[in-house]
Amino acid sequence: MRRLARWLLIGCALFGFNAFAQDPVQGVFVNANTSQEVIDKAIDAGIEKMNFIKRPIARSRLKKTNPLYERIEVGNDGSQISVRFDAGKPVVMPANGSTVKWTRDDGEVFDVSALATGSKLQQTFKAEDGQRVNEFDVAADGTLTLRVTLTSPQLPAPVRYVLTYKRG
């Protein structure tokens, strides 16, 4: 049995494959034909019960801050997790779930954190006016499912949507 284990380790080293250290939530993922309509419908459902004066303001702000990303790049070196959406600035967070400050390209500052467990990664953005939670889950075939939940005291209901990506 020891001899078999040793040969497996040698084989993995020779072929550049380390199954024991491979993080399934790492890599580049591209949009798998999801449309902006999925996000727009979720936003409309979340603001449906707002009064007619606030509703268009909320819709505009939510649409601006929730575009359909075509590409997601996730990295995890064991001490830091980074997530980059399209060509935006990467969000770099400690891998232990601690919160750090991060400034979005438009200047808004967030408290961000991330925690990876197995084939899942949870990333949380907190601001004064609300919170966004991204739940990344990678299936055995490499498909990435991104579940987004937006909450705010300003919203009558959470905004939730699901996007699908394939390994790129």
Residue 2 lies in a domain: no
SS3 assignment, position 138: strand
Query: Counting Cβ atoms within 10 Å, is residue 158 exposed (0-12), middle (13-18) or buried (19+)?
Result: middle
Residue 121 lies in a domain: yes
SS3 assignment, position 24: coil
Task: Write the DSSP assignment of 65-100 as a string of letters.
Answer: H----SEEEEEE-SSEEEEEETTSPPEEEETBS--E
The amino acid occupying position 6 is R
Residue 11 lies in a domain: no
Residue 56 lies in a domain: yes
In a structure prediction context, what are the per-residue pLDDT tens digits for the chain, which is 168 residues long?
444 334 333 343 333 333 334 567 899 999 998 899 999 999 999 999 999 999 999 999 999 999 999 999 999 999 999 999 999 999 999 999 999 999 998 899 999 999 999 899 999 999 999 999 999 999 999 999 999 999 999 999 999 999 999 998
Q: What pLDDT was estimated at residue 15?
A: 36
Residue 45 lies in a domain: yes
Residue 106: domain span: 23-167
Residue 17 lies in a domain: no
Residue 129 sits in a domain whose CATH number is 2.40.128.20
Residue 5 lies in a domain: no
Domain count within the chain: 1
The pTM of this model reads 0.84
Residue 12 lies in a domain: no
CB 123 within 8 A of CB 137: no
SS3 assignment, position 2: helix
The two structure tokens encoding residue 88: 């935006």
Bridge partners of residue 146, in order along the sequence = 136, 163
